[in-house]
Structure 1
Amino acid sequence: MLKIKYIGETDFLVLTHNIIYDVISIEKEWYRIIDDSGEDYLYPPELFEIVES
């Protein structure tokens, strides 16, 4: 499973800086993850650093 670290600024209940998220799927080169709201959404890869593939 691909693990990615959010490198952007913390956005309350969305994404937290330096937190590692599991990628559920990759769709049209964007990462689908479960964010801090508990829902799954697509995010662009430039917001993340791959920590484990």
Structure 2
Amino acid sequence: MKKAASKDLSKLRLYDKKLEALGIIRQVAMRRKNMLQIANAIIIQPVKDEMSGL
């Protein structure tokens, strides 16, 4: 069970890197008030439509 979970996490990290390289998402490191725990916030970037200029 533990091996399956670690495989899933490694796949997710790989997909995160690919999506970030494509500019689809952006990850921002966030610290909690106690400054001991760190979490990444994943921001989904808006779609840039070349036809409408957004």
TM-score, structure 1 as length reference: 0.26
> Which protein is bigger by CA-based radius of gyration?
2
Question: Per chain length, whose mean CA-contact separation is higher, i.e. which structure has more relative contact order (CA < 8 Å, sep 6+)?
Answer: 1
Higher-helix-fraction structure:
2
TM-score, structure 2 as length reference: 0.25
